[in-house]
Amino acid sequence: MRLQELVLVKISLVFLWLIGFVFLQRSEENGFEEPNNGEELSWDDLEREAASNISSKRSHAERSHQHESFTKGDELSGDLYELWRQEQNSIAARLDKELKSRWELDELIEEQLSRYQSHYDNSMVSTFLKDVSNLVLPTWIPPHELAAVAWLGDWRPTSILDLVRILAAQNPSFSLSESSLRVLSQLLREIRIEEAVIDEEYAEIQATGVLYLPFSPLCNTRLHEEALRSVQELFGNIHKVISKAQRLRYKVLELVMKKLLNQTDTAEFVVAFAGIQDAIHQFGEQKKLRKIYPAVPSPLKGSGSSS
Amino acid sequence: MPFSFFSRKKPSRRFNDFYEDWSKTLTENCLPLLRQSLSSAASASVLSSNVDLVLRHLVLYYETLDLAADHNTIPYLLFPSWRNSLETPFLFLGDIHPYLLTNLLRSFIDRENQDSDDEDEETSLDLVNQPLKMTMAWKDPSDELVKRIDQIECTMRLMVPGLMDRMRKTQRSFVARVSESWVSSYQVGKKKKLTATVATASTSVDEAAKIEMEELVSIFVDANRLRKSVIMDIVGATSEHQAALFLEGLCQFLAGFKDQILLQDFEILSLPN
């Protein structure tokens, strides 16, 4: 009996299962898909959803993780690093430009110094005696400019040093140290003496050498060639003194630009020197245009020429 | 300045025209007059009046220079374009160096009093056409004359460095004034990111130049006063014969710079070596 009961239960279970199976099959065939889309989801669906949930959770987790540590480290730090590198490169490029301009500044200063040298050397390659006269009284420089500044045809070396002194006192960007200022004062004293020595040598020619010109009452020369040789010799001596003055001017410029001042101050000095020379030259040109020449009342009274 | 002359209806002429005439008179009138006076035929009174005449001609030149000098014209007088290139290197403040005057006088005396026989022979050639009293004029100069020359020289040696010193100071302070105002206007320009203001610079140059040119006139007038007084002092200290010889030497010297033959050669002469 027990066996029969067991068999019956099994049969009924199988039957029920079959009914259920048929029902399920039919519903699938009738296109009942809504329950699938509804709350009653298949395991696959559930599984898929769960999987997607996990992955989304993971990605969310990952994202939040990046925000907290890797954001600052990896991606964002990567950006910052990139930015930092760019900034560094940009500053380096600017510095490079500055350095290059500083080299250019060096080159410009060197170029100007060599221009000064060749300018003052040119006097030494004079060939004719009249060239010497043109050095003392340069016809291309307006008379007012000559009267204002000229010592043996050009700026006084002491005036060049005066300009450095003024720049050091007035220009706040000038960085002349106490010891450099002392050197400058010392230099001014020495150059002043050298100027005076040249003045003495020149005065000797003007007051004594001149007496050996061929027309001098003291010149015993009879031969024309000999007379011309004495003129040549005298002008040769004048040329030597003028060359000495030119060398002194260059020496002062070289000392100022190479020894006394740093690069920036040298550049400031050259700009000022050129600007001031130009201002004085313009003044001279304007005065020349006004053509106010020396005049005297006429007719002259008491002239020795009258008798 | 020329307008001021016109406004007072006083005719004026350029100084260089005056100088040309003056120089011509010196060469063509003064020098022959003195030579004539130094010849044996001339009387003492002729010599005296001619010395006086030439002295007045020289003094006139310095007085006219002073008249022509003002702050506008001083540069032309210090650097005269009417002087040729043979003489410009010898100009000291626009004219002959004052030392030249006493050096010339001393050279006459030294030459006559040298012991060397050879020198005596050479100089005698120079003075062959002159009477004995002229050739012997500088022989054994009186103590009084020597003393007087020393005095003139001493005064001059005090004055000349003073003139040079004033010239130096004037030029240096002009450059310093211009530099100061240029530097400060450059600073202002740099702050405002402008280039140095040219207008400010030119005004400051004008102002500084006005002060400088006035001082240069004063130095120039003093230099001429010195030259003039040294010439007058020498003439005053020497005998009439000596004065005539000195003035003849000076005129010969001044005229020599205008020697056309020498000037032509000078133009093509090159420097030694």
pLDDT tens per residue, range A38-73: 444 455 554 565 556 555 555 555 555 555 555 556
- Average model confidence (pLDDT) across chain B: 87
By the CB < 8 Å criterion, does B252 face chain A?
A: yes
The reply to whether residue A214 touches residue B256, judged by beta carbons under 8 angstroms, is yes
Whole-number Å distance between alpha carbons of B121 and B227: 33
Domain count of chain B? 1
Rounded to the nearest angstrom, the minimum Cα separation between A244 and chain B is 15
Please tell me the pTM assigned to this model: 0.80
> CA-to-CA distance for B182 and B202, rounded, in angstroms?
9
Express each pLDDT in A181-236 by its tens digit: 999 999 999 999 999 999 999 999 999 999 989 988 887 767 888 889 999 999 99
| pLDDT above 70 as % of chain B | 85
Query: What is the structure's pLDDT at A4?
Result: 57
A229 within a domain of the structure (yes/no): yes
At A295 the three-state DSSP class reads strand
CA distance to partner chain B, nearest, from residue A115 (Å):
22
Is the pLDDT score of A37 beyond 60?
A: no
User: What is the model's pLDDT at position A175?
Assistant: 84
Q: Which of B17, B90, B188 to mutate to test the interface with A (most CBs of A within 10 A)?
A: B90
Single out the residue of B113, B178, B106, B175 nearest to residue B145, CA to CA. B106
B99: contact with A, CB 8 A cutoff: yes
Cβ contact A128–B270 (<8 Å): yes
Is residue A122 over pLDDT 50? yes
Domain annotation covers residue A112: no
C-alpha dist (Å) from residue B11 to A266, A305, B268: 54, 19, 40
Work out the mean pLDDT of chain A and round it to a whole number: 81
Q: Which residues of A touch B114 (CB under 8 A)?
A: none
pLDDT at B138: 87
Instruction: Using a CB–CB cutoff of 8 Å, tell me whether B72 touches chain A.
Output: yes
Task: Name the more confident of A36 and B188.
Answer: B188
- Nearest Cα to Cα of residue B75 among A154, A142, A203: A142
Are A147 and A287 a contacting pair, CB within 8 Å? no
Please choose, from the candidates B30, B63, B17, the residue with its C-alpha nearest in 3D space to the C-alpha of residue B253: B30
Q: Give the minimum alpha-carbon distance from A163 to chain B in angstroms, rounded to a whole number.
A: 6
For residue B202, list chain A residues with Cβ-Cβ distance below 8 A: 279, 282-283, 286
Contact list in B for residue A136 (CB cut-off 8 A) is 88-89
* Neighbour tally for B168: CB within 10 Å: 18
Q: Which domain holds residue B149?
A: 14-268
Nearest to B76 among A134, A279, A294 (CB): A294
Place of tokens 């003094």: B59
Chain A residue closest to B54 (CA)? Answer: A304
A303 lies in some domain:
no
The amino acid present at A167, given as its one-letter code, is: L
Which 8-state DSSP code applies to residue A128?
B
Those of residues 183-202 in B touching chain A at CB distance below 8 A are: 183-184, 186-187, 196, 198, 201-202
Is residue A111 over pLDDT 70?
A: yes
Asked if B269 lies within 8 A of A231 by C-beta distance, the reply is yes
Return the pLDDT at B121. 45
Residue A121, pLDDT score? 81
Q: How confident is the model at residue A29 (pLDDT cuts 50, 70, 90)?
A: very low
Say if A13 falls within a structural domain: no
Please judge whether B73 and A195 are an interchain contact, meaning their C-beta atoms are less than 8 angstroms apart.
Answer: no
Structure tokens at A46: 């559930």
Q: What is the mean pLDDT of residues B227-251?
A: 95
Inter-chain CB proximity B2 and A295 less than 8 Å: yes
Which one is predicted more confidently, A277 or B115? Answer: A277
Contact B86, B263 (CB under 8 A): yes
Q: What residue numbers bound the domain in which A139 lies?
A: 126-287
pLDDT of residue A173: 84
Report the residue from A127, A213, A282 with minimal CB separation from B256: A213
Question: How close, in Å, is residue A100 to chain B by CA atoms?
Answer: 23
**pLDDT band at residue B244, thresholds of 50, 70 and 90?**
very high
- B29–chain A Cβ distance below 8 A for any pair: yes
Q: How many domains does chain A have?
A: 1
What are the φ/ψ torsions at residue B136 (nearest 5 degrees)? Answer: -95, 5
Highest mean pLDDT among A13-17, A265-269, B112-116 belongs to A265-269
Contact A293, B3 (CB under 8 A): no
Name the CA dihedral angle for A25, A27, A32, A38, rounded to a multiple of 10 degrees.
-80
Indicate which of B56, B174, B175, B184 best probes the interface with A, i.e. most A CBs within 10 Å of its own CB.
B175
- Say yes or no for a CB contact (<8 Å) between B187 and A136: no
Residue with token string 């060239």: A131
Beta carbons of A130 and B267 less than 8 angstroms apart? yes
Query: From the list B22, B79, B172, which residue is nearest A159 (CB)?
Result: B172
Q: Is B103 on the interface with A (CB under 8 A)?
A: yes
Tokens, residue A222: 């009879």
Residue A16 pLDDT > 60, yes or no? no
Chain B neighbors of A287, CB-CB under 8 A: 72, 75
pLDDT at B35 over 80: yes
Measured in angstroms, the CA of A121 and the nearest CA of chain B are apart by 16
B9 pLDDT more than 70: no
Tell me if B99 and A143 make a contact (CB, 8 A cut-off).
no
Size of interface A-B (CB pairs under 8 A): 274
Task: Let me know if residue B6 belongs to a domain.
Answer: no
| Rounded-to-integer distance, Cα A127 and Cα A188, Å | 33
Average pLDDT over residues A84-113: 92
Q: Which amino acid, B101?
A: L
Does residue A16 fall inside a structural domain?
no
Output B206 or A126, whichever has higher pLDDT: B206
What residue in B sits closest to A156 (Cα-Cα)?
A: B172
ipTM confidence score: 0.89
What does the block give as tokens for A258?
Answer: 């190479």
Asked if residue A40 belongs to a domain, the reply is no
CA distance B27 to B183: 52
For residue B77, the chain A residue with the least C-alpha distance is A294
- Residue A238 — very low, low, confident or very high, per pLDDT cuts 50/70/90? very high
